[in-house]
Structure 1
Amino acid sequence: MTTLMVQGTTSDAGKSMLVTALCRWLKRQQVAVVPFKPQNMALNSAVTADGGEIGRAQAVQAQAAGLAPHTDMNPVLLKPNTDTGAQVIIHGRARANMDAQAYQAYKAVAREAVLASHQRLTAAYEVVVVEGAGSPAEINLRANDIANMGFAEAVDCPVILVADIDRGGVFAHLVGTLALLSESEQARVKGFVINRFRGDLALLQPGLDWLEQRTGKPVLGVLPYLVDFHLEAEDAIDARQVAKADAPLKVVVPVMPRISNHTDFDPLRLHPEVDLRFVGPGEPVPLADLIILPGSKSVRADLTWLRSQGWEQAIARHLRYGGKVMGICGGLQMLGEHIEDPLGLEGPPGSAPGFGWLPLSTVLGPEKQLRNRRGKLALEQAEAWGYEIHAGVSRGPALNRPALRFDEGGTDGALSADGQLLGTYLHGIFESPAACTALLRWAGLETAANIDYHALRERDIERLADLVEGHLNTGALRQLCGQMT
């Protein structure tokens, strides 16, 4: 059984992308491959087949490998709820909220979870492709590391180092990162991959030759910058819009300090008839047909932030003029009358008034709801699917007009009597083509195109595998994956 690890010189260097590419490339060759990320820090997460929670990027990598997401693919997930603290999730289940110092002391427990998951995966699959986190050269995080070289040393696996040339300074990134590693860690690096290159490769070749001579490590390939390409972001918001200003439907989403699962909006960002705007701090709220309040890891704190930014008045004005408002998960809770956190799960214990536009109240409890769900929207009885990740339980007369009815029984969310407000706990609802179309028609788009987001994602995963074949040293990769015959 073989383990190959991909590490990066920086965050967003291309680790997630390269792991996704390698998983699909190996799957094409009938190799039983599985993705793995020992420790992930992200507010974008997914619900697994075994009822747990992992990073969203690992769920996409599972799709590339032809697998259902499983908690062993990301045994440690950290979901930041303050600038210095996070909820610690082990094997898909929340254990505690910890500050950075407390987590350092907890790392021995996390390490055991990481190694146990890796052992199970190596017993079940031919190749485990591992994604590192951030950079292995972060000196302050080297002690008890389980995310980068600490893991690679523990399981004795080779490492590929990837860097993003589009940011500039790619040779400094690679040489500097290598120089800051220990001797044994340097020996683990078996080659470099340069990502997001634009231009004539012949002009880059002298630099590649110098890099190989300077480090004694081969360049395994140079991946081109992809245009019209989408892969779900691990954490950073992808706000790219191309020639969408004339799109007939205007949708606005506030970027709250603890926004979670903003990948919910990727299908809208890619929809040809939707002009999606993420609105950050200090920015005026533009005119829109639909305002969507997203999920939040700290609902009361983000609600206070929204009020400080003038969103309450802006949404009230939007509703007076007949606009539509949707809330997803934490956004649904904000539309209600009260949010209570008696146990202090998301901050100091207490209660906060909601916006009060839906007659419901929410109490946060210790048990997080983690479920994949399917059902029918109240709008057009459109087929809908998605996943729940929330600690809140909402009650109130608004729920007597549910937004969805689940196939296995039960309901979700609320649709206001005047039809202007809709709230749901279901993340990923826009990935359902029929539900997405129905929601866009509700928001005012009369002839919404039916977009298959899963097919778009599958198309781009295939493009990544094509890049491996066309631009990387596949012979060296097969050797590193133990697939040489």
Structure 2
Amino acid sequence: MPKSPKALMFQGTGSDVGKSLLVAGLCRAFVRRGLKVAPFKPQNMSNNAAVTREGGEIGRAQALQARACGLDLSIHMNPVLLKPQSDVGSQVVVQGEVVGNATARDYTKLKLSLMPKVLESFHKLAETADLVLVEGAGSAAEVNLRKSDIANMGFAEAADIPVILIGDIDRGGVIASIVGTHCLISESEKLRTKGYLINKFRGDPSLFTSALDIIKDQCDQDCFGIVPYFKEASLLPDEDAMSLDNRKKQAGEKSIKIIVPRFSRIANFDDLDPLRAENDVDVVIVEAGSALPADGDVILLPGSKATLADLAYMYEQGWDIDIKAHVRRGGRVVGLCGGYQMLGQEVCDPDGIEGKIKSMDGLGLLPMKTVMKGPKTLRETSGTCLETSHKVSGYEMHMGVSKDLEPTEPWLELEGKKEGRLSKDGLIMGTYLHGIFNSDEFRHAFLKDIRAERSAGVAYDQQIEDVLDQLAEHLEEYCDLDGLLALAG
């Protein structure tokens, strides 16, 4: 059996306690200390994924953590990825490759068989790093699922690495969440858990001193940091679609308004982040039950993990009527990946890859037809916007092939091949390229075409780097990094 590497695992007392962000910040902090650090998450569930150098896919949070480490993305950073679809359960991706679909019950039976692959990936990463920082999933105290666990204590025990708990004080009940977790886990897991971090603290930390004593008395565990709320976190890409609920800003009088219908299986929604980063852009996420506002400059149809199911969802909400009214008023419509497929005349799934719906009419805004079939396209690519001549880059991640029903204008040229489509009036456009708006010059030109008077925009990639550095400095100040590093062995 491989020797235990220098590693430390961060598990949460619940979901959305800030594990991903803290691990990203710790990755950058330890890299700034001169260490070669690698991120790892045994099992992830997310429709927000990234393409790796091997042509596989991993969760977006691990992509951000890899960036914090200065590493290329690898399938071994997130060996098991679950991507929820519609009525076929979740797509199961193992070491970057789709191995099938599984319901929650079927996956519970399957996942213990995946532990060898998980450990293989972990040790491959460990061979190339001074330190591996491991992120758990959900709650460490899901003891009803412990027997088949590969994401939290099950992995920590199998890999023989120490654990730090993360509690979120912002939602309340953090003392109970830490002490309760301690009470529920097994004796060996209690010994493996070396301490905890308090995340998202607001106010005077001296008022929490007595709480530290209570936790010490109940669990005999030490606190490795009380981390104040880091407001700049909103500038970093998120993995969970729940974050779409939390990112609202006050629109100014001169704001460019981009309307985004929130699909039931919205995917790769980090495409929106560069637009949100612009001070004069208001990205409005529209929930089910609400009409699309009539005052938008652009309606952007995002990616979807189940295009046909979300196309049906769009019709149920009446959003198709709002989109066509927007087009009649001369508004722009942009479709990305699944949203691009919806712009055509028809979407077909004859083999039931996505689910039970075999065929459905699209919005009819571009003269094309999409047929869902494999193999899945997964690749990083770059090229030029033919409309503006600006460079673009990103990745493709989709099932299906879209073909013209009549001649159309391409929107992009990627690696010498025409890609995407543009309506004759230039107001309807779509592409399979995720990350197109990350390209600063292209994004600025796109927005300036809407508001000619707008000033120069944000340098998005540099902003992410700056925020990661700020987060690392934040954790240097409020966490015992020396103590955490010593725990790693």
Counterpart selection for 2:435 from 428, 439, 463: 428
**Equivalent-residue separation in structure 2 for 1:340 and 1:63 (angstroms):** 37
Match of 1:237 in 2: 243
**Equivalent-residue separation in structure 1 for 2:132 and 2:452 (angstroms):** 45
Match of 1:292 in 2: 300
Match of 2:454 in 1: 447
1:99 and 1:68, CA in 2 relative to 1: closer, same or farther beyond 3 A?
A: same
1:472 aligns with 2:479: yes
1:324 and 1:100, CA in 2 relative to 1: closer, same or farther beyond 3 A?
A: same
**Equivalent-residue separation in structure 2 for 1:43 and 1:462 (angstroms):** 27
1:72 aligns with 2:76: yes
Per the TM alignment, residue 13 of structure 1 is displaced from its structure 2 partner at its CA by 0.4
Q: Extract unaligned runs of 5+ from structure 1.
A: none
**Equivalent-residue separation in structure 2 for 1:141 and 1:375 (angstroms):** 46
CA root-mean-square deviation = 1.5
- Matched position secondary structure for 1:331: helix
- Matched position secondary structure for 1:365: coil
Q: Which moved further from structure 2: 394-403 or 283-292?
A: 394-403
Match of 2:127 in 1: 123
Per the TM alignment, residue 49 of structure 1 is displaced from its structure 2 partner at its CA by 1.1
1:162 and 1:445, CA in 2 relative to 1: closer, same or farther beyond 3 A?
A: farther
- Per-residue displacement from partner, 1:232-266 (whole Å, max 9, x unpaired)? 21112334233324342111101110000111101
Match of 2:283 in 1: 276
1:245-324 alignment, distance < 5 Å: 245-286=252-293, 287-324=295-332
- Matched position secondary structure for 2:375: strand
AA partner of residue 173 (structure 2): G
- Per-residue displacement from partner, 1:246-292 (whole Å, max 9, x unpaired)? 34211110111000011110111121010110000111211200000
- Matched position secondary structure for 2:138: coil
Counterpart selection for 2:410 from 386, 402, 418: 402
- Matched position secondary structure for 1:251: strand
Counterpart selection for 1:132 from 130, 136, 141: 136
**Equivalent-residue separation in structure 1 for 2:434 and 2:53 (angstroms):** 16
1:31 aligns with 2:35: yes
Q: Extract unaligned runs of 5+ from structure 2.
A: none
**Equivalent-residue separation in structure 1 for 2:186 and 2:98 (angstroms):** 34
1:381 aligns with 2:389: yes
**Equivalent-residue separation in structure 2 for 1:231 and 1:133 (angstroms):** 19
- Matched position secondary structure for 1:34: strand
AA partner of residue 286 (structure 2): V
**Equivalent-residue separation in structure 1 for 2:364 and 2:408 (angstroms):** 16
Per the TM alignment, residue 358 of structure 1 is displaced from its structure 2 partner at its CA by 0.3
Question: TM-score w.r.t. structure 2 length?
Answer: 0.96
Q: Contact conserved, 1:440 with 1:448, CA < 8 A, in 2?
A: no
Counterpart selection for 2:467 from 460, 466, 471: 460
- Per-residue displacement from partner, 1:438-466 (whole Å, max 9, x unpaired)? 22234445435332211111111111211
Q: Give structure 1 regions of 4+ aligned residues with deviation exceeding 3 angstroms.
A: 397-400, 442-446
Match of 2:207 in 1: 203
Q: Which moved further from structure 2: 252-261 or 378-387?
A: 378-387
- Per-residue displacement from partner, 1:300-337 (whole Å, max 9, x unpaired)? 11001111111111011101111000000000100001
Match of 1:390 in 2: 398
**Equivalent-residue separation in structure 2 for 1:14 and 1:113 (angstroms):** 26
Counterpart selection for 2:44 from 40, 44, 54: 40
Counterpart selection for 1:171 from 165, 171, 175: 175
- Matched position secondary structure for 1:401: coil
Q: Contact conserved, 1:254 with 1:280, CA < 8 A, in 2?
A: yes
**Equivalent-residue separation in structure 1 for 2:387 and 2:405 (angstroms):** 19
AA partner of residue 463 (structure 1): Q
Q: Which moved further from structure 2: 371-380 or 40-49?
A: 371-380
Q: Which moved further from structure 2: 39-48 or 91-100?
A: 91-100
Match of 1:157 in 2: 161
Identity across matched positions, percent? 46
Q: Contact conserved, 1:289 with 1:444, CA < 8 A, in 2?
A: no
1:107 aligns with 2:111: yes
**Equivalent-residue separation in structure 1 for 2:405 and 2:451 (angstroms):** 26
Match of 1:331 in 2: 339
- Matched position secondary structure for 1:50: coil
- Matched position secondary structure for 1:193: strand
AA partner of residue 214 (structure 2): W
**Equivalent-residue separation in structure 2 for 1:359 and 1:84 (angstroms):** 29
1:88 and 1:443, CA in 2 relative to 1: closer, same or farther beyond 3 A?
A: farther
**Equivalent-residue separation in structure 2 for 1:125 and 1:173 (angstroms):** 33
Q: Contact conserved, 1:343 with 1:349, CA < 8 A, in 2?
A: no
Q: Contact conserved, 2:238 with 2:270, CA < 8 A, in 1?
A: yes
Counterpart selection for 1:224 from 217, 228, 232: 228
Q: Contact conserved, 1:324 with 1:443, CA < 8 A, in 2?
A: no
Match of 2:376 in 1: 368
AA partner of residue 241 (structure 1): K
Q: Contact conserved, 1:371 with 1:387, CA < 8 A, in 2?
A: yes
1:190 aligns with 2:194: yes
Q: Contact conserved, 2:308 with 2:357, CA < 8 A, in 1?
A: no
